[in-house]
């Protein structure tokens, strides 16, 4: 039975499709939106649409950006011969916050997970290998220390080492199963400085 009428039910349904939003949160958000001033709702809707329409992947590192190249890839002061491989743009942001990394990044947009049916072809690995044909000295693997993150790190290491490029892995200190985006800056910085050869 439709308790709320079709408009609000549709809104609840749409919100429920977002990650981390369950039935209860979706209802709470929907009622909050219904009670917001119309102008504010319009602003929210426009922000959603304009982000979706104007944000795309950097053609070099595949992080999210407004331009063809992100500010990091565009920068002349960054070390373009050192590439840190991360699972997503949130992890990139976490490393940027430490202010101690001077290289560039490569965003995979996921990790290999045989259990979820995510294979090497489903993440931006081919694009990484293409970048490595250029002048690259070191690949720092900064995937999460989850099973998927470790599997991905091993896979990349096996691909990259034969090319003769140095491959390192961020050190322990990042707790097992810990998501990089939730780790404090000091720990991340230590993990970076203490990275080990693979
Ligand atoms: Zn970029």
pTM above 0.75, yes or no: yes
Distance 137 CA to ligand 1 centre (A): 18
Helix (H) or strand (E) segment spanning residue 78: none
Distance 86 CA to ligand 1 centre (A): 12
What is the model's pLDDT at position 5? 80
Distance 91 CA to ligand 1 centre (A): 14
What is the model's pLDDT at position 171? 78
What is the model's pLDDT at position 196? 82
Q: Distance between CA atoms of 78 and 175, rounded to whole angstroms?
A: 28
| Residues of the chain falling short of pLDDT 50 | none
Distance 182 CA to ligand 1 centre (A): 22
What is the model's pLDDT at position 175? 60
Distance 17 CA to ligand 1 centre (A): 29
In Å, how far are 30, 103, 115, 156, 159 from 162, measured between CA atoms? 53, 22, 28, 11, 7
What is the model's pLDDT at position 87? 95
- Picking from 126, 136, 141, the residue whose alpha carbon sits closest to that of residue 87 is 141
Q: Distance between CA atoms of 197 and 140, rounded to whole angstroms?
A: 9
What is the model's pLDDT at position 191? 80
Distance 165 CA to ligand 1 centre (A): 20
Q: Are 180 and 188 in contact (CB under 8 A)?
A: yes
Distance 143 CA to ligand 1 centre (A): 17
What is the model's pLDDT at position 123? 95
Distance 173 CA to ligand 1 centre (A): 27
- Picking from 183, 196, 21, 155, the residue whose alpha carbon sits closest to that of residue 95 is 183
What is the model's pLDDT at position 176? 55
């Amino acid at each position: 039975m439709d308790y709320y009428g079709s408009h609000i039910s549709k809104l609840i349904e749409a919100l429920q499709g977002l990650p981390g939003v369950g039935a209860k949160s979706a209802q709470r958000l929907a009622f909050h939106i219904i009670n917001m001033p119309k102008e504010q709702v319009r602003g929210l809707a426009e922000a959603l649409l304009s982000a979706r329409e104007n944000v795309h992947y950097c053609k070099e590192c595949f992080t999210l950006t407004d331009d063809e190249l992100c500010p990091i890839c565009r920068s002349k002061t960054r070390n373009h011969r050192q590439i840190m491989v991360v699972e997503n743009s949130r992890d990139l942001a976490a490393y940027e916050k430490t202010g101690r990394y001077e290289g560039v990044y490569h965003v995979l947009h996921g990790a290999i997970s045989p259990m979820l049916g995510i294979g090497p072809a489903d993440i931006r690995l081919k694009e990484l290998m293409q970048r490595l044909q250029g002048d690259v000295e070191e690949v720092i693997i900064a995937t999460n220390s989850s099973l998927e993150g470790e599997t991905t790190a091993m896979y990349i290491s096996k691909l990259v080492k034969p090319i003769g490029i140095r491959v390192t892995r961020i050190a322990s200190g990042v707790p097992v199963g810990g998501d990089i985006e939730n780790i404090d800056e000091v720990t991340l910085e230590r993990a970076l400085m203490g990275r080990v050869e693979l």
